[in-house]
């Protein structure tokens, strides 16, 4: 998710922010810039901790950065954005989930217990892709919840269960508390304004970091 160069820059900026962590700018423009920097470094540290399990900052220093961002947002409420790390707090979790339609059906793969089925499937893939060679990545299967995530204009706008494959339950409020789940992603850099990401029986943190 982050290149080595990006990580070095974010770590350096994180250290700089910690040196001035107790100071809150009264000027809104300066506070806006500081808030964006804090969001960026906090997302980086969330990725290091929750996805890589390799933090490069202490919990204490993380909390100092987090609370500084929270103070800025309290002082200037219009600086709060949906993808801010402060918006992951597990308040307002719901047990009622309205039904939503998936953009594309969440289909399920058939089980297979013999070589012939796998070869038939490989042949279908090659015909569909019009190629004679397909590379596969094989890894252990993680049992877990199947989810569909919808991002619009780079922002997470919906999370839904698989349901029957066509209709699932909206779990957006609850899924936002997962710190391994990006609340925003730069799909627009690829010319994509709306996308639905689907994963079945996978560990979320493993899926999203790959």
pLDDT at 96 over 90: no
pLDDT in tens, 117-158: 889 989 999 999 999 999 988 877 666 678 899 999 999 999
Task: Give me the mean pLDDT over the 103-116 stretch.
Answer: 79
Q: What does DSSP assign to residue 78?
A: G
pTM comes to 0.60
Q: What does DSSP assign to residue 163?
A: T
Q: What pLDDT, on the 0 to 100 scale, is given for residue 90?
A: 57
Pairing of strands 99-101, 147-152: unpaired
Q: What pLDDT, on the 0 to 100 scale, is given for residue 76?
A: 92
pLDDT in tens, 192-209: 999 999 876 544 444 443
CATH superfamily of 99-104+141-209: DNA ligase/mRNA capping enzyme (3.30.470.30)
Of the candidates 178, 136, 206, 180, which has an alpha carbon nearest to the alpha carbon of residue 46? Answer: 180
pLDDT in tens, 160-187: 988 888 888 999 888 888 888 889 999 9
pLDDT at 3 over 50: yes
| Residues with a known catalytic role | 141
Of the candidates 36, 68, 62, which has an alpha carbon nearest to the alpha carbon of residue 47? Answer: 62
CB neighbours of 26 closer than 8 A, spacing ≥ 6?
Answer: none
181 vs 64, 67, 178, 197, CA distance in Å? 22, 21, 6, 12
The angle subtended at Cα 97 by Cα 93 and Cα 100, nearest 5°, is 130
pLDDT in tens, 7-33: 999 999 999 999 877 666 667 778 899
pLDDT at 210 over 70: no
150 vs 27, 31, 122, 187, 198, CA distance in Å? 35, 30, 29, 11, 9
All structural domains of the chain with their residue ranges: 4-88, 99-104+141-209
CATH superfamily of 4-88: Helix hairpin bin (1.10.287.610)
């Amino acid at each position: 998710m982050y290149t080595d160069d990006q990580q070095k820059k974010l770590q350096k900026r994180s250290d700089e922010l910690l040196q001035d962590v107790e100071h809150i700018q009264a000027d809104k423009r300066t506070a806006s810039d500081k808030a964006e920097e804090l969001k960026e470094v906090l997302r980086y540290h969330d990725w290091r901790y929750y996805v890589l399990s390799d933090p490069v900052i202490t919990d204490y220093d993380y909390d100092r950065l987090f609370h500084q961002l929270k103070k800025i947002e309290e002082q200037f409420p219009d600086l709060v954005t949906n993808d801010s790390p402060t918006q992951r707090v597990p308040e307002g979790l719901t047990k009622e989930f309205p039904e939503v339609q998936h953009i594309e059906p969440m289909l399920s793969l058939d089980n297979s217990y013999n070589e012939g089925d796998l070869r038939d499937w490989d042949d279908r893939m090659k015909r569909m892709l019009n190629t004679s060679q397909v590379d596969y990545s094989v890894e252990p299967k993680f049992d877990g919840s199947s989810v569909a995530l919808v991002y619009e204009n780079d922002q997470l706008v919906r999370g839904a269960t698989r349901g029957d494959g066509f209709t699932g339950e909206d779990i957006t409020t609850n899924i936002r508390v997962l710190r391994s789940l990006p609340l925003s992603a730069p799909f627009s850099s690829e010319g994509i304004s709306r996308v639905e990401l689907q994963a079945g029986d996978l560990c979320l943190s493993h899926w999203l970091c790959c």
